[in-house]
Amino acid sequence: MSLSLSAEQPDEPADAADGVWLECIECGDTFAPFDDIRYTCDECDGLLEVRYADLPTFDDFDGHGVWRYADALPFEEGVSIQEGATPLYEVPRLEESVGVEALRIKHEGMNPTGSFKDRGMTVGVRVAKELGVGRLACASTGNTSAALAAYGSRGGMQTLVLLPAGKVAAGKIAQASLHGARILEVDGNFDACLDIVQELAAQGEAYLLNSLNPFRLEGQKTIGLEILEGFLADYDAVPDRIVLPVGNAGNTSALYKAFRELVQAGELDEDDVPKLTGVQAEGAAPMVEAIENDADEVRRWDDVETRATAIRIGNPVNAPKALPGIRETGGTAVAVSDEEITEAQRDIAGEGIGVEPASAASVAGLRKLRTEGVVDDDERVACLTTGHLLKDPDAAAAAGSEPEPVPAETQGVLEHL
């Protein structure tokens, strides 16, 4: 199986360009990377992955941010706003209350537009330029649209975003709007938006930059590479487990690909690969259902609901890449309630780190799995927090304390205190 951890490095096909090609994860068909626009396999409609004739080792990485990892990417540089190089925070109180050997928070909210999506867009928009397309598009629960709008405008391109009406956090719409995206509010959920934008892309109306686009996931691999380098520097070992929120399962797929490539390059032992552990909200948990039932495929949930609007997704399109990632690394998936998510958001905030609700799902999931004994107390764990607190100011205000009205004089303030 091509997505197995022990898969051999494939031979370079004739249609490769400078050692880069696309390969179908289902039938193994290969395609030239930049001759035509395609998102899935021409033969069987399977998902595509980017392949490289040469895989880098840690010593090949040089510089700062996403493009430090250029040797693991299809280009030397991209359309950049200085993305990546996000903090890997120590959180001693949280570490103790969860009860693990080590806990670090990889805060992707510290990217230019406040989420990990920037890592995918710096590569994806570069590819769009290579292909010579005019208009970029995505469906989004908000963060992808903010990143696409920013990177599209940076690259001097038009952007079109389809959002589920009434279900996108205020900060994200504000970003897409100010960066000049044309915003279409769809009377349906995220999955319906993605169905439509895929049709538009198939009809040549726009270049699709959702995580179905294999090049976006290349940029997102760098989250995994940064976490590994950070742990190696601090603990002289890679983490035992990485816990992350799951929506379309793009990050789960991207991290798994990063680890597979390191194994193939001889840089990481198969047994040392961190256990990928996905967390979904109870009201939108089709991946958790598939893992629990040991199913080969994920059943689409038509009705999804959660306060963590970023992961309000019922049809995780990257499931065929992510399910092997979770299983082959010995990881798991778990669902948490909205209350558990809010609680975790407060806990993380108590360490001075502000994250949006979907991000807090990672810590909520870790706590739950630790309580259930699935996670051991001797594990070193990285939790991925995917978006910044200010993305969803309403959720933050609802989870936080109420402002207290006081009179405009010191005595009155003192009396109130």
Residues that bind ligand F0G (CB under 6 A): 115, 117, 140-144, 211, 245-251, 310-311, 356, 358-359, 386-387
CB of residue 385 vs ligand F0G: minimum separation in angstroms? 8
Q: Which of 118, 214, 244, 221 is nearest to 175 (CA)?
A: 118
Length of the chain: 417
Element (H or E) spanning 129, and its range?
helix 117-131
* CB burial string 221-254: b at 16+ within 10 A, e below: bbbbbbbbbbbeeeeeebbbbbbbbbbbbbbbbb
CB of residue 33 vs ligand F0G: minimum separation in angstroms? 22
User: Judged by CB, which is closer to ligand F0G: 16, or 317?
Assistant: 317
CB of residue 115 vs ligand F0G: minimum separation in angstroms? 5
290 labelled ligand-binding: no
Say how far apart CA 210 and CA 304 lie, in whole Å. Answer: 20
248 labelled ligand-binding: yes
Ordered strands of the 380-385 beta sheet: 88-90, 102-107, 380-385, 241-245, 275-281, 332-336
Beta carbons within 10 angstroms of residue 15's beta carbon: 13
Bridge-based pairing of strands 20-24 and 30-31 is: antiparallel
CB of residue 402 vs ligand F0G: minimum separation in angstroms? 26
Q: Which of 224, 302, 311, 300 is nearest to 262 (CA)?
A: 224
User: Judged by CB, which is closer to ligand F0G: 16, or 223?
Assistant: 223
User: Judged by CB, which is closer to ligand F0G: 211, or 345?
Assistant: 211
User: Judged by CB, which is closer to ligand F0G: 40, or 211?
Assistant: 211
Tokens of 394: 């309403």
CB of residue 237 vs ligand F0G: minimum separation in angstroms? 26
User: Judged by CB, which is closer to ligand F0G: 117, or 307?
Assistant: 117
User: Judged by CB, which is closer to ligand F0G: 24, or 384?
Assistant: 384
DSSP count for the chain of H helices, then E strands: 13, 13
CB of residue 284 vs ligand F0G: minimum separation in angstroms? 10
249 labelled ligand-binding: yes
CB of residue 411 vs ligand F0G: minimum separation in angstroms? 45
Beta carbons within 10 angstroms of residue 349's beta carbon: 16
251 labelled ligand-binding: yes
Bridge-based pairing of strands 332-336 and 102-107 is: unpaired
User: Judged by CB, which is closer to ligand F0G: 9, or 337?
Assistant: 337
Contact 335, 281 (CB under 8 A): yes
**Torsion on CA atoms 173, 177, 182, 188, rounded to nearest 10:** 10
**Residue positions forming the annotated binding site:** 143, 247-251, 386
**Residue positions forming the annotated binding site for pyridoxal 5'-phosphate:** 143, 247-251, 386
